[in-house]
Amino acid sequence: MYFIGIDSSTTATKALLMDSAGQVLAVAATEYPFETPRPLWSEQHPDLWWDGAQKSIRAVLEQAGIDPAQVGGVGLTGQMHGLVLLDEAGEVLRPAILWNDQRTQAQCDEIHQVIGKELFIQITGNMALTGFTAPKILWVKQNEPQVYARVRHILLPKDYVRYKLTDAYAMDKADGAGTVLFDIKSRTWSPDVLRALGIDPAWMPALYEGPQITGFLSAEAAKATGLKAGTPVMAGGGDQAAQAVGVGAVSEGIVALTLGTSGVVFATTDGPFIEPQGRLHAFCHSVPGKWHLMGVMLSAAGSLRWYRDTFAPGMSYDDLLAPAAQVPAGSDGLLFLPYLTGERTPHPDPLARGAFVGLTVRHTMAHMTRAVLEGVAFGLRDGFELMKSAGLGKITQVRVSGGGAKSALWRQILADVFGCELVTVNTTEGAAYGAALLAAVGAGKFRSVEAACEAAIQVTGSTLPVQAQVKAYEQVYAIYRDLYPALTSSFKRIHELR
């Protein structure tokens, strides 16, 4: 028996095919763009995800040469928080408003005012932030009333793919919590929040735990994808929860660190653990009956990609990073703020901006490159420090993954900035692999998500901190933490100029 995980991310839809032992047999991805039609906006048409899913599923089936009837289940994951609005017939009403869209600060303020900020945090586990789904719904209501009047279904990106596969309107509880329309303690939609915001509960999809079956492949979807009609489709999870499953971060004490376009520090908890000021995200996990804390920075490996594309277009990342390894820790006093698209943790500020600070004529491109790597590491440490100050239990291991984790230099910088061991695991496909594991659990191949991870995931490498570097970074990190408060008013004035 085989299992497929589908990951509909911001830049591509990936399909991963694994066997019943957890071995990856084939991976395929279909890339696509997203649009920024106005400052602070980020949108994408859902048809791109469905087209990508069809092509990628067909590609992995062809690569592996298996009989589609042997696929025992499909698990779904993808970018979180994006708003997909459908009408009565299930037709898309407008392009999806994505997780990195920053237009909704006024709606976030309104949510806090209407419900009360402290009460909202206690119900949902989070502040209302521009990235989340709830303020996007209010924005459409207030700015596109003709669209809002036709809304009958609200989905998240991966759940639109689910709808196209099964004709079912469904969502997993991990991704549902990320809408901030959830009562995180009871793991379901909050009637109080929906009522206060004037959102019809009938628009919200049915909810499932990560491994549960949400529907079965329709005949039409089977024809489009090459899979067999009737194949079960499991709930899966938002990309970060599925990523945590994919690296085995499913128990307390194991922290997942993701270096993707965004950067994430993720810790599993056995109960709903809410940071009192809402500076960390508290969501349900894809693991039934578990929750997680999460710190998110919006531009992690995305910062490096922007830097490469802007200053060294066409250069390979290996060639770009090699000279930076010869630059000392702290980049000779050059610091980088990675707030290229605003920020979420620990500064929920859509107007925060990126910056190089401390430039002199002595600095070279190698210094700038290393400063970018270090700035992202400092931003991730901010989330790590919040978890410790919030009283999270002992952290026994940090598992690093994502595209940026391929760099040995970046892994060493992270180990030195965090002051602890980082490990890599045998799985490199993160969220898509986690979705496939959840499908295998739902099909009965493993007795639990924890058992699936124990059987399929092993530690493959370790990066230990260098104490001299740790000491050097402590001094630089203290300066880094002073920069955002010092520049906040300037960021606001810069925005007002536009």
Domain ranges within the chain, ordered by starting residue: 2-247
The whole-number pLDDT of residue 477 equals 98
Residue 344 pLDDT level (bands cut at 50, 70, 90) = confident
Q: For tokens 């107007």, what's the residue?
A: 351
Over residues 35-92, the pLDDT tens digits come to 999 988 999 999 999 999 999 999 999 999 999 999 999 999 999 999 999 999 999 9
Per cent of the chain over pLDDT 70 is: 100
Please state which of the ranges 363-367, 393-397, 479-483 shows the lowest mean pLDDT: 393-397
> Which residues does residue 282 pair with via DSSP β-bridges, in sequence order?
293
Percentage of the chain exceeding pLDDT 90: 86
Q: Residue 390 pLDDT > 80, yes or no? A: no
**498, pLDDT greater than 80:** no
Query: Between 498 and 269, where is the model more confident?
Result: 269
Binning pLDDT at 50, 70 and 90, where does residue 376 land?
A: very high
Query: Given a cut of 80, is residue 394 above it in pLDDT?
Result: no
Residue 198: pLDDT over 90? yes
> Greater confidence, 349 or 71?
71
pLDDT at position 445, please?
97
Question: Residue 102: CA atoms inside 13 Å, Cβ hemisphere, count?
Answer: 18
pLDDT exceeds cutoff 90 at 225: yes
The residue-averaged pLDDT of 408-418 equals 96
- Separation CA 29–CA 21 (nearest Å): 23
- Euclidean distance between CA atoms 4 and 434, whole angstroms: 10
At 190 the pLDDT is 98
Q: What is the mean pLDDT of residues 7-11?
A: 93
In terms of phi and psi (left: phi > 0; alpha: psi -120 to 50; beta: otherwise), the region of 126 is beta
CA distance 168 to 161: 10
DSSP alpha helices (H): ranges in 226-336? 239-247, 301-311, 317-321
CATH fold for the domain made of 2-247: Nucleotidyltransferase; domain 5 (3.30.420)
pLDDT band at residue 260 under the 50/70/90 scheme:
confident
- 8 Å CB contact between 276 and 121: yes
Q: Determine the average pLDDT of the residues in 87-100.
A: 97
**Catalytic residue chosen out of the listed positions 101, 159, 239, 416:** 239
239 is catalytic: yes
Over the stretch 422-471, which tens digit does the pLDDT of each residue have?
999 988 888 999 999 999 999 999 999 999 999 999 999 999 999 999 99
- Give me the amino acid identity at 341: T
DSSP state of 351: T
Long-range contacts of 313-321 (CB under 8 A, 24+ apart): 317/407, 320/369, 321/369, 321/373, 321/407, 321/409, 321/410
Mean pLDDT of 213-217: 98
pLDDT for res 276: 85
Q: Can you list the alpha helix ranges (DSSP code H) found in 443-466?
A: 449-456
Q: Find the distance separating the first CA and the last CA of the chain, reported in whole Å.
A: 56
- CB 438 within 8 Å of CB 388: no
Question: Is the model's pLDDT at 206 over the cut of 80?
Answer: yes
Local confidence band at 157 (pLDDT 50, 70, 90 cut-offs): very high
Q: What confidence score (pLDDT) does residue 51 get? A: 98
Interval 357-385 mean pLDDT: 97
pLDDT over threshold 90, residue 402: no
pLDDT at 278: 86
Average pLDDT over residues 237-252: 93
**Which pLDDT does position 481 carry in this prediction?**
97
Whole-angstrom distance, CA of residue 436 vs CA of residue 438: 5
Mean pLDDT of 101-106: 93
pLDDT, residue 391, reads: 76
Of 35-49, 87-101, 311-325, 416-430, the poorest mean pLDDT is in: 416-430
Token couple for 411:
């892994």
pLDDT value, residue 262: 86
Calculate mean pLDDT across residues 163-175.
Answer: 98
Of 9-13, 179-183, 253-257, highest mean pLDDT? 179-183
